[in-house]
Amino acid sequence: MTARRQQVPWLLALALLLALTAAPTARAGRAAAAGRPLLHALLWRAELGDLPLGPGTPALWALARSTGDLASPSPSPRATTRRLQIRQALEQADQRLTALGYRPRLAGIAAGTRGRYAEAQAHLEAAHRSRPRDIFALVALGNVLDAQGDRAAAVAAWRSVSALRPLAAQLHRWGAQLAQAGARSRAEAALALAVAVDPAFGDGYYALGGFYWGLDGARAAEMYRAALAAGGLTPYQERMAQAKLALLEDRPADAIAPLEEASQLRPEDPEAVEFLGSALRRLGRSDEAIAFFARAAQLNPASPWPLVQLGQVHLQLGNYPEAITALRQALARRTDLPLAFDLLARAYLAEGQAQQAAAAWRQAIALRPDTAAYFVGLGDALRAAGNPAEAVAAYEAALRLDPDNLQAVRGLRAAAGQP
């Protein structure tokens, strides 16, 4: 996403903020003019990524929170100059608002942005007293309270103006974008924050279930249960959550019906098709699984995972040439998949192509050097290729990682010519 697109929520929210401030009175007009340096400062923060949770932080969440501009400054002269301009703009806004004697909402936002939370809280509480339904004042007040560690008071402020769901939705959308971009730690933080802000936000739990899928089955199952309990999911999401939970709980037969319904709701969606293949594979219905994985690969030409699973089924069936073809296609889509290289190596070795198997296992090891099984496979391939000395080194590497690995012990003895 470009920096300009990241700024769109800021532009909308802050333009509305100034529009609300600029009521049809001379005093309010002067206040709006005095607040313009604040608007510039906030937009410049978005431009630099000097936001509370990093580049792209949702506008409502960042409102009236300190940025820590100097915590990890960029070395570029332009960034240094811009940060100086940000501080000057905030000081100018502060001075102008003080001179006007108008210090509630905008002054609270300016103070919060500079990390002066006690002062910000006083201004924003004054703004709330004068205008009890001022949405921006209460959102900013909640952010200031939360920044001081009082999440309960922050939630109460947000709830009073029905801001819990908009805040959670912003964080959820942002977390999903971060996950797609591969920024996993920041994505997890944003999604976890979404459900912390609004514990009844089913979409947030659903997204977290997908985030943990394949990494932490217990946490993924917990998130899908929470999503179903919270409600508010679309019919498609509800069925997918039911199916994924069934697969995580080793109930593949119970996943079939909701997956078929999900596929009917979205016939061109590759996810339901791919998961149908997974459920059928686990039930031993391999021919049907192959058809679904092939269909999912067509529907989603960017994803390697349907092809990885297709290769895995062919490998299990002994269809080694087909497994090699599918796995090579998967790796053409994405090259950082140790599992795909491991499966490809197994297919090569079964086909008698020991050199190619060794090369594939070396690729897997380069990506996951802490996996003993990959070194065992490499040793097997090298031994089959007639390189016993290199095989011994591979088995020894496996045993350093896993001293009790019996396959490595047997391979080492065979490579050394021992019974």
CB 378 within 8 A of CB 362: yes
DSSP string, 137-173: HHHHHHHHHHHTT-HHHHHHHHHHTT-HHHHHHHHHH
- Name the average pLDDT for the chain: 86
Cα distances from 354 to residues 153, 301, 389, in angstroms, run 65, 30, 15
Cα distances from 368 to residues 102, 185, 216, 363, 371, in angstroms, run 60, 19, 18, 9, 6
Same domain, 181 and 212: yes
* Cα distance between residue 324 and residue 128, in whole Å: 66
pLDDT at position 412 is 92
Q: In this structure, what DSSP letter does residue 131 have?
A: -
Tokens matching residue 287: 């021919």
Question: Nearest CA to 296 among 280, 320, 283?
Answer: 280
In this predicted model, what pLDDT tens digit does every residue of 311-345 receive, in sequence order? 999 999 999 999 999 999 999 999 999 999 999 99
CB 294 within 8 A of CB 307: no
Q: Which of 127, 161, 195 is the last residue of a domain?
A: 161
Does 7 map to a domain?
yes
Angle CA(223)–CA(228)–CA(234) in degrees, nearest 5?
110
Q: How many domains does the chain divide into?
A: 2
* Cα distance between residue 277 and residue 285, in whole Å: 9
Is the model's pLDDT at 3 over the cut of 60?
no
Q: Which residue has the higher pLDDT, 5 or 222?
A: 222
Is the model's pLDDT at 353 over the cut of 60?
yes
Same domain, 149 and 213: no
CB 391 within 8 A of CB 417: no
Which residues constitute the domain of residue 168?
A: 163-233
pLDDT at position 131 is 83
Same domain, 138 and 190: no
Q: Token pair 């002269």 is at which residue? A: 77
Same domain, 8 and 108: yes
pLDDT at position 224 is 97
Is the model's pLDDT at 362 over the cut of 50?
yes
Is the model's pLDDT at 419 over the cut of 60?
no
In this predicted model, what pLDDT tens digit does every residue of 229-260 receive, in sequence order? 999 999 999 999 999 999 999 999 999 999 99
φ, ψ at 108 (rounded to 5°): -65, -40
Does 220 map to a domain?
yes
In this predicted model, what pLDDT tens digit does every residue of 195-228 receive, in sequence order? 999 999 999 999 999 999 888 999 999 999 999 9
pLDDT at position 58 is 82
In this predicted model, what pLDDT tens digit does every residue of 77-120 receive, in sequence order? 777 777 777 777 777 776 676 666 555 777 888 888 878 899 89
In this predicted model, what pLDDT tens digit does every residue of 11-65 receive, in sequence order? 445 544 444 444 445 555 665 666 677 777 777 776 666 777 777 788 788 888 8
